[in-house]
Chains A and B, each alone.
Chain A
Amino acid sequence: MARNLRLPSALVAALLFSLSACGGGEAGGDSSSEAATDDPLTGNLTVFAGASLTDVFTELGQRFESDHPNVEVTDYFNFGPSSGLATQINEGAPADVFASANTTQMDVVVDAGSADGEPTVFAENVLQIAVPPGNPAGITGLADFADPDLTLAICAPEVPCGVAAVTVFEAAGITPSVDSLEEDVRAALTKVELGEVDAALVYVTDVISAGGAVEGIEFPEAEEAVNSYPIAAVAAAPNPDAAQAWIEFVLSEAGAAVLEDAGFRAP
């Protein structure tokens, strides 16, 4: 109701403004920014995002929806291994935005011409050792991953967290002796939460999102594999305006604060 009253006065103000000083172009820009209070963004926004973004994007989605009440985003998230998502987007999946857990998989999408414009890095993440509460196996550092008597999991080398794992082991000069190469980082985390493995390599952010269900152990070699998270609109986005607004929101100060709370680093 209040909006209906405000809108004509906004138009009047714009008209007066354009008459008094500036050209038509300026006035047009001004009136469109006023109309944004009536929120022109509508429809569904489909965001494809790496599995490690599950919690933080869900929270960002709720905030985005309260800013843009006509947009549905939380019901249209597709979280999974970034590599699988990249394949799906290149095969024509109806995504608006792609947020990848590493630059390699974003490149796959960019190289196929499926991205709209240059991707922007919005966060960084590093690996941490996750152990069940109380650390029953007494894990102290990365060197324990060479112990064949322990039950250990890392991500498969085909997915981003596995690529990072290979890098840190090479940097540390350790040949890991693991029992399972998990299909994504959440699967590795779940096995720690269930207490079925003594330790797994996951992201810092996964340890934080698991709350008290796992404990995290930092290790110095993690700095050798800092993962960058790029975001880009998809070229064939069904809802390009909402896609752009989402990306701006993730890159905004408010977005960065939420990301930081979840354990991500600013790029």
Chain B
Amino acid sequence: MRNATAGTRIPLALLLPALVGFAFLVLPMVGLVIRAPWSDLLQRLAEPQVGQALRLSMITATIATAVSMVLGVPIAWVLARSNIRGRSILRALVTVPLVLPPVVGGVALFMVLGRRGIIGSWLYETFGFSLPFTTTAVVIAETFVAMPFLIISVEGALRAADARFEDAAATLGAGGWSTFHRVTLPLVAPGIAAGAVLCWARALGEFGATITFAGNFPGTTQTMPLAVYLALQSDPEAAIVLSLVLLAVSLATLALLRERWLTRR
């Protein structure tokens, strides 16, 4: 990390839009804090459904991030380093979930993994096993929507990394896999960490694909965003409290991780 030199003045042409942008991003959050019913906050937090939804959100988002890393880092490597044909088409396809409205993503998952889906129908007829409406379905929906964020970050990091280290390792006799996990991975570790954080945050906030493909049931598939949405239908104040809880927990988690990972460097 480069440090800002002490005497650097921020040019006005950058400072102004930066301030406006910052206010635009932060003010809605301030609005939530102001409207929150602070007096019965604790009472609401004690409701068992809140803890349940929060725990489910944290667990599924973390598993979704782990799955995204295992599958997404290799995709990023293929996109950044290999010379296979149709790479740009591949890259465009990988980012489809970013553009797709998440609810449509949920329906698309039904078409493949639902009881009547291409793969799902086989699973159902052979093993009597059906994915929708399970916690696994939540992880699948979150992974589908969040993995592109990780892939794009890691691909960017790989392109920015100096490929000569890898070439050197190869000339010294290291095989492809050995070069990857002993040279490339440590080189782009910060990029992977940044991508994982983005991916986790997106998975944590996932709503549309989850409520479509996994449904909504407390304890098994009702994550915090689903609980917030349903609370909004009958009790907007409860929805604000739930949003703040989700916000506070995710900010605390990210701050803690940053402390542990980035201060060591």
Hey, which bits of chain A sit against chain B, CB under 8 A? 81, 83-84, 87, 151, 153, 156, 158-159, 178-183, 187, 191, 194-196
- Chain A nearest CB, measured from B210 CB (Å): 11
Q: Do the beta carbons of A158 and B217 come within 8 Å of each other?
A: no
In the complex, which residues of chain B have a beta carbon less than 8 angstroms from the beta carbon of A151? Answer: 115, 130, 132-133
Least CB separation from A80: chain B residue = B233
C-alpha gap A133/B12 in the complex (Å): 66
Interface of chain A, main secondary structure: loop
In the complex, which residues of chain B have a beta carbon less than 8 angstroms from the beta carbon of A182? Answer: 215-216
- Chain A nearest CB, measured from B111 CB (Å): 9
C-alpha gap A153/B133 in the complex (Å): 10
In the complex, which residues of chain A have a beta carbon less than 8 angstroms from the beta carbon of B229? Answer: 183
Which of B110, B133, B216 is within 8 Å of A183, CB to CB?
B216
Q: Do the beta carbons of B230 and A87 come within 8 Å of each other?
A: no
C-alpha gap A24/B215 in the complex (Å): 65
Q: B160 at the A/B interface (Cβ < 8 Å)?
A: no
Least CB separation from B234: chain A residue = A158
Hey, which bits of chain B sit against chain A, CB under 8 A? 107, 110, 114-116, 130, 132-133, 211-212, 215-218, 221-222, 226, 229-236
- Chain A nearest CB, measured from B175 CB (Å): 46
- Once A180-B133, A196-B132 are accepted as A-B contacts, the answer to whether A156 and B114 lie under 8 Å apart by CB is no
Starting from the known contacts A84-B233, A178-B217, 20 additional A-B residue pairs (CB-CB under 8 Å) come to: A84-B232, A87-B233, A151-B130, A156-B216, A156-B233, A159-B233, A179-B133, A179-B215, A180-B216, A181-B215, A182-B215, A182-B216, A183-B211, A183-B229, A187-B212, A191-B215, A194-B107, A195-B114, A196-B110, A196-B115
Which of B116, B221, B233, B235 is within 8 Å of A196, CB to CB?
B116
In the complex, which residues of chain A have a beta carbon less than 8 angstroms from the beta carbon of B230? Answer: 156, 158-159, 181, 183
C-alpha gap A87/B230 in the complex (Å): 12
* Of B218, B221, B234, most A-chain CB atoms within 10 Å: B234
Least CB separation from A159: chain B residue = B233
Can you list 18 A-B contacts (CB < 8 A)? A84-B233, A151-B130, A156-B230, A158-B234, A159-B233, A179-B133, A179-B217, A180-B215, A181-B215, A181-B222, A182-B216, A187-B211, A187-B212, A191-B215, A194-B107, A195-B115, A195-B116, A196-B132
Q: Do the beta carbons of B114 and A180 come within 8 Å of each other?
A: no
In the complex, which residues of chain B have a beta carbon less than 8 angstroms from the beta carbon of A81? Answer: 233
- Chain A nearest CB, measured from B233 CB (Å): 4
Which of A83, A179, A195 is within 8 Å of B233, CB to CB?
A83
- Chain B nearest CB, measured from A157 CB (Å): 8
Q: Do the beta carbons of A83 and B133 come within 8 Å of each other?
A: no
In the complex, which residues of chain B have a beta carbon less than 8 angstroms from the beta carbon of A179? Answer: 133, 215, 217
- Chain B nearest CB, measured from A193 CB (Å): 11
In the complex, which residues of chain B have a beta carbon less than 8 angstroms from the beta carbon of A181? Answer: 215-218, 222, 230
- Once A178-B217, A180-B221, A187-B211 are accepted as A-B contacts, the answer to whether A87 and B232 lie under 8 Å apart by CB is yes
